[in-house]
Structures are given as structure tokens and as C-alpha cells.
């Protein structure tokens, strides 16, 4: 038995805080349990009542003579902990805490929630909530509506979890109207114990659940979520509304990676990460329904080639526009299909896809043409549009399509631009009907999601390579940095760290004085670059701390002197903080040409380590053209990270240039990912620029900023 079965498949339920007062949660919840015909025993618990809803009531849970699997708690917050103890002593294993007033109300509530969490754990219980509106399991052998929602659910094959209780209620309202049913519904509340990840795992192997919908406002453990979701989404589509797009506020950040994540980038990162694990993100609840209808009533298509059959041009054009913009293809019909359509249709009809049958087309025309199109191997799914003209009934058309879709293993979706009365009649007379939409765009979005799911299913997960690296060099470096009470590595140290992980770096030496610099310069290949090196100076260029393309030792010495002078003046003017240590010099191989890219990682409070890739220089600064992933990074992930930046064409070569070595760049990204995984103590790292060329032997990391966690 799964531990969550005590919550979702109980034999007996105690409703603690059950009430007779109409309108109270304790009453409505009792009412729903009874009304929905729970297959098991329900025990109202209320010390002030002898019976509730015609059922004998008990003063406490422990006073119930029978075993109790699940306790649903709706008492005031002050009484919750006592009730938990009572349940614990009784041996109750499942809890749903409806009661609010915990961490969502501030510090004091947060403290009580901590106690609640501790107690639940101590008794070995599992808990949904607190601050939730309950749970449902529509399975015919369970039939549990343990919510206080005004709408009873339709049974179906969708698991739905909502982080907003109120939105959950609204969704149940609307779903019923749309003939959309659920296997499970869970209002998660504060997610103090049972999390979204727990529910995903629970539904992964549940034979009653084919599709998972989520309304989320925050991620608990994002890395774990990604691991789980990547696997599950291969079998069952996961559709998420993730709200809370507005950044909570700018964070102080010293690197581009951090800045991009904390500003508008955070939401872009969420998009990227959800895509990275096969989760289909939608913006609105409305789209969630559009997709739910599409998924729950259709097979997965074999490809992206859409057929459109219509009795009116306008909506077909709009469907085509939407399809193309979402990356679907309008399939080419075979000659045989075209000839057959030509035979079936009047001369003014258009028999290429979209097929416009003209307004006079009735049920038999729709049926014949839809069949011919479904038989065409060039069409993977069929969208049927109907604008009601006089005298032709939308219902007749739907009935014809219902028969066809049972004969063909292809998605068939309808768009009926008909009055509301039609939809009401459809739901009443034909529950479980095919997916029917009012607007063409909604239907096409659903088809897009079906196709996205197919692509994810067929996409290999790729291989996470482990490279031979020199891990001990990295460990020594970090020890030495920490021994000096520093957290920021110098550029030289940063490059050594990368080198240890097999990422090619520009040859560099350090000198702490002019004299030492002269000595080091002997035998060093020119042209060279000279940079000031100090953990306190982050933006070297701005303080005159960089000189490039030095061609002779003499030019080098002159540059070093100018640098000392410039830094000295700025120190005097207090532009730099006075504690900046005496700077040393970094003498570096000067790398010409190539494309600048940037590899970054920041530890995000939501996501954990977040890898970033982008074009460097002005591209990252002004265009924010970057992609995000979380480690571990499989080969295919690294390739996607590179391919998905807007300026990809620059790496592939413009104006007849040769493309850069993409395989080598992908490997560098995977090595970078391995470094980040091996050392969770790295708080932030940015390689910028990393210069890449058609020949991998020329690749060079030129600068690296690395910051360790406190």
C-alpha cells in the first residue's frame, strides 16, 4: 500500500469539526462526502453535537470505535495541534488540514506550521494542507469528494493539483461545464508535507490517471521536480499553469547570470526549465482547459501535419495562422485525396488543405470529406470547423465525427462557432463527447500540445557523460581561497579551476610586481594581454586595469606602468574601496578573433543551480539572448542550450564563415555542468568571454569569475 493511499483511498474518514450550520465548511464538506456517495464510513467529530447530517457524531477521534484511515480537519487553528495528537494516538495515517492561519499569515503562523510539520512526521502520518480546500478521488470504488466546493466532480482520467484553493473551486466549476472529468483533485495548500512532487510520483503509476494538470505559484524542490517530471512526461502529459511571473524584486547580483535570472530572466528560465523536462506550460486557466480537453479525448498524433476541413474561409485562415505560428504544418493532401474531394465537392470548393467545402455542406458532406482526409497518410490530425449556416445542425456534424474518430487512430477536434445552447445540449445529451471548441485558435493550441507531447516522448533523454577531470586541483584551490577568508576567486584561480575540468583556457601567469612581470614575460608568447588581478576589483576594464594586444616586452612594461598609475589615482580619489588589496598582474596570451560566448551558473533560491549559456559581449548585455538548464546536463541538453539561443546563426557562420565546433562547445558545457555538480559550494560562476572557433584547438576561456558560498 502506498503511504498516500490513506489519504486518497481511505476506508473510513473522520471529519473533525463537522458542523450542522449551513454554509460552514464543516457542514459543506460532510454534505459533499455523503452526496458524492463515499464508499466507506464517515464519522463526524464534534464535541458539541450528538449527530450531524443524520450521522452519529463523536466528541474526539479517539472516541470512534472503528479504525480511521483519514482525518479531515476543519477546526480553528488553535485546536489543530491537539487534534493531531488525538489522531496520532488513534493511529490515523492520513490527514487533510483545511484550517488556515499558518505560514501564509506571517511569522507566528509559520511557527505553528513548523510544530504541525514536526508532529505529523513524529506520528508517521502524511498530510495534505494546511490551508487547502480538500481532495477528491472519483474512482468508482472510492468516490470521495472531501472538499467544500459547490460543484461535484465528473469522473475522468485527469489528476489535477492546485496551489490555490479558490482557483481550484473555480476550475471544478468550469470543468464540469466543459464535460471535463478528473481522477484526482488535490488542493495542496501550504504543501507542508505532501508536495507537488509527491503527487506526481503517486500518479505516475496510477492506472486511472492519464494526464496531469498543475496550477503552481512556486516550486518546492525544482531539481527533484525536473528529475521526476522528465520521466513521467514521457508517459503522461503534464500541463502546468505557473503563475507569479512578476519578479519578486531585483536581487543584488554581480554577474550577468545572476542579473538575468533575478530580472525578467527568471520567468524565461522557468519556461526553459519546464520545457527541458517535457512539461507543457500555459499562461492561463483557459488554455489549461483547452489542452485538457484535447489530451483527454484524443490519441497522440504520429506527426505535426494538420488537416483542416471547414465550411467557411475565415476561421480556417485563423486556424492556419495559429498552427503555423506554433510550429505545426498544414499537411499536403495526396493526389488521390484531392481527386476524391473534387468528386465530392462543388466546383467552387477548395480541395487543397485547408479544405473549404463552402457553406452548403451538410452532415453527409462533412462525413465523406473527413473520412477521405483521415485516410490520407499525409495528415496526422484533423481539425473540423463548422460555422452554422441556416438549416444545418451542428449536432449532426458532431455525431458524424464521433463515428469517424472511433475508426481512425488520429486526433479529431471540432470547432463549432455555434451559440451556447448548442454546447449545453451537447454536454447534456452526449457526455464524454469529442473535443469541441468555440474558437479555432483554442483547438489548434490543443493540437500543438498533443504534438509537443509526441515530440517529448520521442526525444531521447540523452547521456550524461562523466569526464576525467582533476578534481583535487579544484579542492586545493577552494581550500586555499577559504584559508584567506576569501569567497571570490581571482581570474587566475578561476581559469585554473576550469583547466582542471578540461575546459581550454588562455595561457596565463601571475606577477606581483613589475620586476616579476619582466621576468615572467621572458619566453611568454606575444601578443599578450595584461590585466590587473585583485579579488576586490570585479570590473577591471572600468578602472583601467586591462591592456590588450601588447606586441613587445616594451609595450608590456609601459602598459603595466600606466596601470599602476591609473589604479593609484583612483584609489586616491576613493573610487575603489580602500580595502582593495595591492593588485597583482595577470599576463595572458592574447586571443584574436572567434565568437564570444558566456557560460554561467548561479544558485537560485527557487531552482538551485541554474546553468546559463549565451552569446557574450553586447548580446548578453543588451539582448539577454541566453538559455537556461539545470544540471546534470545530458549531451542532447547541451546541444539544445546552444541551438536555442537567438543568435545561433552567428555560431553557425554568417557571410560564408565556417561554423564553430559545436561538439566541442557542447562538451565544454557538459564539463562546466560537471564542475557545478561536483562542488555545490560554488555560489556563482561565469566564464566570459569563452572564445570559440571552427577549430576546437583554438577555444579559450579568457576570464572567469567564481564566488563560493558563505
Map the footprint of its own copies across residues 129-188, applying CB under 8 A.
148, 150-151, 162-167, 169-170, 173-174, 176-177
Residue 544 binds to its own copies (criterion: CB under 8 A): no
Site for its own copies in 662-691 (CB under 8 A): none
Residue 403 binds to its own copies (criterion: CB under 8 A): no
Q: How far is the CB of 479 from its own copies (least distance, A)?
A: 36
Q: Kindly calculate the radius of gyration of the chain based on its CA atoms and give it in whole angstroms.
A: 32
Phi and psi at residue 156, to the nearest 5°: -170, -165
Q: How far is the CB of 425 from its own copies (least distance, A)?
A: 13
In the complex with its own copies, the residue whose CB is nearer, 105 or 470, is: 105
Q: How far is the CB of 318 from its own copies (least distance, A)?
A: 5
Side-chain-facing half-sphere of 462: CA atoms under 13 Å: 18
C-alpha cell at 621: 548585455
In the complex with its own copies, the residue whose CB is nearer, 472 or 622, is: 622
What is the per-residue binding string for its own copies in 440-459, x denoting contact by CB under 8 A?
-xx-----------------
- Burial letters 518-529, b for 16+ CB under 10 A, else e: eeebeebeeebb
Binding residue for its own copies, selected from 248, 519, 558, 649, defined by CB under 8 A: 649
Kindly give the interhelix angle for 471-483 and 491-500, rounded to the nearest 10 degrees. Answer: 160
Binding residues for its own copies, rule CB under 8 A, total 76
Counts for the chain of helices (H) and strands (E), in that order: 24, 30
Under the phi-then-psi rule, with left for phi > 0, alpha for psi from -120 to 50, and beta for the rest, what region is 488? beta
Under the phi-then-psi rule, with left for phi > 0, alpha for psi from -120 to 50, and beta for the rest, what region is 293? alpha
In the complex with its own copies, the residue whose CB is nearer, 321 or 695, is: 321
Distance of CA 124 to the CA centre of its chain: 31
In the complex with its own copies, the residue whose CB is nearer, 283 or 565, is: 283
3-state secondary structure 48-94: CCCEECCEECECCCCCCCCCCCEEEECCCHHHHHHHHHHHHHHCCCE
Under the phi-then-psi rule, with left for phi > 0, alpha for psi from -120 to 50, and beta for the rest, what region is 635? alpha
Residue 263 binds to its own copies (criterion: CB under 8 A): no
Residue 390 binds to its own copies (criterion: CB under 8 A): yes
Residue 593 binds to its own copies (criterion: CB under 8 A): no
Binding residue for its own copies, selected from 37, 364, 424, 512, defined by CB under 8 A: 424
In the complex with its own copies, the residue whose CB is nearer, 253 or 683, is: 253
What is the per-residue binding string for its own copies in 348-377, x denoting contact by CB under 8 A?
x----------x------------------
Residue 101 binds to its own copies (criterion: CB under 8 A): yes
Site for its own copies in 205-224 (CB under 8 A): 215, 217
In the complex with its own copies, the residue whose CB is nearer, 201 or 285, is: 285
Binding residue for its own copies, selected from 418, 532, 611, 676, defined by CB under 8 A: 418
Residue 391 binds to its own copies (criterion: CB under 8 A): yes
Measured torsion, CA atoms of residues 97, 103, 104, 109, in degrees rounded to the nearest 10: 90
CA distance 65 to 83: 17
In the complex with its own copies, the residue whose CB is nearer, 3 or 101, is: 101
What is the per-residue binding string for its own copies in 282-321, x denoting contact by CB under 8 A?
-xxxx------------------------xxxxx-xx-xx
CA distance 84 to 77: 11
Residue 420 binds to its own copies (criterion: CB under 8 A): yes
Binding residue for its own copies, selected from 326, 623, 636, 683, defined by CB under 8 A: 623
Residue 255 binds to its own copies (criterion: CB under 8 A): no
Site for its own copies in 457-486 (CB under 8 A): none
Contacts of 137 (CB under 8 A, 6+ apart): 8, 9, 143, 144, 183, 184
CA distance 581 to 600: 26
How do strand 436-437 and strand 155-162 relate by DSSP bridges? unpaired
Q: Which stretch binds its own copies (CB under 8 A): 277-285, 526-534, 577-585, 636-644?
A: 277-285
Site for its own copies in 222-241 (CB under 8 A): 241
In the complex with its own copies, the residue whose CB is nearer, 68 or 135, is: 135
Residue 387 binds to its own copies (criterion: CB under 8 A): yes
In the complex with its own copies, the residue whose CB is nearer, 62 or 566, is: 566
How do strand 682-692 and strand 700-701 relate by DSSP bridges? antiparallel
In the complex with its own copies, the residue whose CB is nearer, 40 or 244, is: 244
CA distance 164 to 180: 19
595: β partners: 692
Under the phi-then-psi rule, with left for phi > 0, alpha for psi from -120 to 50, and beta for the rest, what region is 358? left
Residue 694 binds to its own copies (criterion: CB under 8 A): no
In the complex with its own copies, the residue whose CB is nearer, 31 or 507, is: 31
Q: How far is the CB of 463 from its own copies (least distance, A)?
A: 31
Contact by Cβ (8 Å): 637, 629: yes
In the complex with its own copies, the residue whose CB is nearer, 145 or 499, is: 145
Q: How far is the CB of 97 from its own copies (least distance, A)?
A: 16
Residue 527 binds to its own copies (criterion: CB under 8 A): no
In the complex with its own copies, the residue whose CB is nearer, 206 or 290, is: 290
Please give the full DSSP string across 348-417, using - where no structure is assigned.
TSB-SSSEE--TT--HHHHHHHHHHHHH-TT-SEEEEEE---TT--HHHHHHHHHHHHHHSSS-EEEEE-
Amino acid at each position: 500500500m502506498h503511504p498516500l493511499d490513506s489519504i486518497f483511498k481511505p476506508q473510513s474518514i473522520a471529519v473533525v469539526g463537522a458542523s450542522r450550520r449551513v454554509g460552514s465548511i464543516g457542514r459543506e464538506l460532510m454534505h459533499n462526502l455523503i452526496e458524492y456517495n463515499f464508499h466507506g464510513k464517515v464519522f463526524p467529530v464534534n464535541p458539541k453535537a450528538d449527530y450531524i447530517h443524520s450521522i452519529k457524531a463523536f466528541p474526539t477521534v479517539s472516541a470512534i470505535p472503528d479504525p480511521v484511515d483519514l482525518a479531515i480537519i476543519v477546526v480553528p487553528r488553535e485546536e489543530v495541534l491537539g487534534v493531531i495528537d488525538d489522531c496520532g494516538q488513534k493511529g490515523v495515517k492520513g490527514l487533510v488540514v483545511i484550517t488556515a492561519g499558518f505560514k501564509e499569515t506571517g511569522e507566528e503562523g509559520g511557527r505553528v506550521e513548523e510544530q504541525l510539520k514536526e508532529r505529523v512526521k513524529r506520528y508517521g502520518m502524511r498530510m495534505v494542507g494546511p490551508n487547502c480546500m480538500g481532495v477528491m478521488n472519483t474512482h468508482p470504488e472510492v468516490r470521495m469528494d472531501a472538499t467544500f466546493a459547490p460543484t461535484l466532480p465528473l469522473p475522468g482520467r485527469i489528476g489535477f493539483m492546485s496551489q490555490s484553493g479558490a482557483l481550484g473551486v473555480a476550475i471544478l466549476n468550469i470543468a464540469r461545464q466543459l464535460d471535463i472529468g478528473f481522477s484526482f483533485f488535490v488542493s495542496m495548500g501550504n504543501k507542508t508535507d505532501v508536495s507537488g512532487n509527491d503527487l506526481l510520483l503517486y500518479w505516475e503509476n496510477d492506472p486511472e490517471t492519464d494526464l496531469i494538470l498543475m496550477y503552481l505559484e512556486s516550486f518546492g524542490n525544482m531539481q527533484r521536480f525536473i528529475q521526476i517530471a522528465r520521466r513521467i512526461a514521457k508517459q503522461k502529459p503534464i500541463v502546468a499553469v505557473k503563475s507569479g511571473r512578476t519578479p519578486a524584486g531585483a536581487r543584488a547580483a554581480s554577474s550577468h547570470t545572476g542579473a538575468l535570472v533575478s530580472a525578467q530572466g527568471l520567468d524565461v528560465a522557468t519556461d526553459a526549465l519546464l520545457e527541458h523536462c517535457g512539461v507543457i506550460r500555459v499562461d492561463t486557466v483557459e488554455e489549461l482547459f483547452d489542452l485538457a480537453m484535447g489530451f483527454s479525448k484524443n490519441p497522440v498524433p504520429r506527426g505535426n501535419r494538420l488537416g483542416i476541413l471547414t465550411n467557411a474561409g475565415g476561421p480556417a485562415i485563423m486556424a492556419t495562422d495559429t498552427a503555423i505560428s506554433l510550429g505545426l504544418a498544414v499537411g499536403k493532401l495526396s493526389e488521390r485525396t484531392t481527386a476524391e474531394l473534387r468528386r465530392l465537392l462543388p466546383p467552387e470548393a477548395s480541395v487543397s488543405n485547408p479544405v473549404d467545402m463552402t457553406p452548403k455542406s451538410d452532415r453527409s458532406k462533412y462525413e465523406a470529406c473527413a473520412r477521405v482526409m483521415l485516410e490520407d497518410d499525409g495528415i496526422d490530425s484533423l481539425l473540423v470547423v463548422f460555422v452554422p449556416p441556416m438549416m444545418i445542425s451542428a449536432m449532426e456534424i458532431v455525431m458524424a465525427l464521433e463515428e469517424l474518430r472511433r475508426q481512425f487512430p488520429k486526433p479529431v477536434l471540432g470547432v463549432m462557432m455555434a451559440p451556447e445552447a448548442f454546447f449545453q445540449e451537447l454536454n447534456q445529451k452526449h457526455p464524454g463527447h469529442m473535443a469541441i471548441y468555440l474558437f479555432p485558435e483554442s483547438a489548434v493550441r490543443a493540437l500543438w500540445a498533443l504534438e509537443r507531447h509526441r515530440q517529448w516522448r520521442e526525444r531521447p533523454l540523452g547521456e550524461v557523460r562523466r569526464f576525467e577531470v582533476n578534481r583535487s586541483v579544484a579542492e586545493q584551490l577552494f581550500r586555499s581561497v577559504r584559508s584567506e577568508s576569501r569567497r571570490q576567486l581571482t581570474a587566475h584561480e578561476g581559469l585554473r579551476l576550469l583547466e582542471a575540468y578540461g575546459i581550454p583556457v588562455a595561457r596565463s601567469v601571475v606577477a606581483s610586481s613589475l620586476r616579476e612581470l619582466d621576468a615572467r614575460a621572458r619566453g611568454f608568447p606575444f601578443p599578450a594581454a595584461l590585466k590587473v588581478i585583485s579579488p576586490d576589483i570585479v570590473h577591471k576594464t572600468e578602472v583601467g586595469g586591462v591592456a590588450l594586444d601588447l606586441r613587445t616586452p616594451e609595450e608590456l612594461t609601459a602598459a603595466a606602468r600606466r596601470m599602476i598609475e591609473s589604479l593609484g589615482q583612483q584609489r586616491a580619489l576613493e573610487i575603489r574601496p580602500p580595502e582593495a588589496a595591492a593588485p597583482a598582474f595577470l599576463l595572458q596570451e592574447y586571443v584574436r578573433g572567434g565568437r564570444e560566448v558566456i557560460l554561467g551558473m548561479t544558485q537560485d533560491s527557487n531552482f538551485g543551480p541554474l546553468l546559463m549559456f549565451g552569446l557574450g559581449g553586447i548580446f548578453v548585455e543588451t539582448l539577454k539572448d541566453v538559455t537556461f538548464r539545470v544540471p546534470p546536463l545530458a549531451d542532447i541538453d547541451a546541444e539544445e542550450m546552444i541551438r536555442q539561443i537567438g543568435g545561433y546563426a552567428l555560431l553557425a557562420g554568417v557571410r560564408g564563415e565556417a561554423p564553430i565546433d559545436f561538439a566541442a562547445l557542447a562538451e565544454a558545457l557538459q564539463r562546466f555542468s560537471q564542475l557545478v555538480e561536483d562542488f555545490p559550494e560554488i555560489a556563482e560562476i561565469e566564464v566570459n568571454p569563452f572564445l570559440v572557433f571552427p577549430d576546437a584547438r583554438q577555444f579559450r576561456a579568457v576570464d572567469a569569475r567564481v564566488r563560493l558560498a558563505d
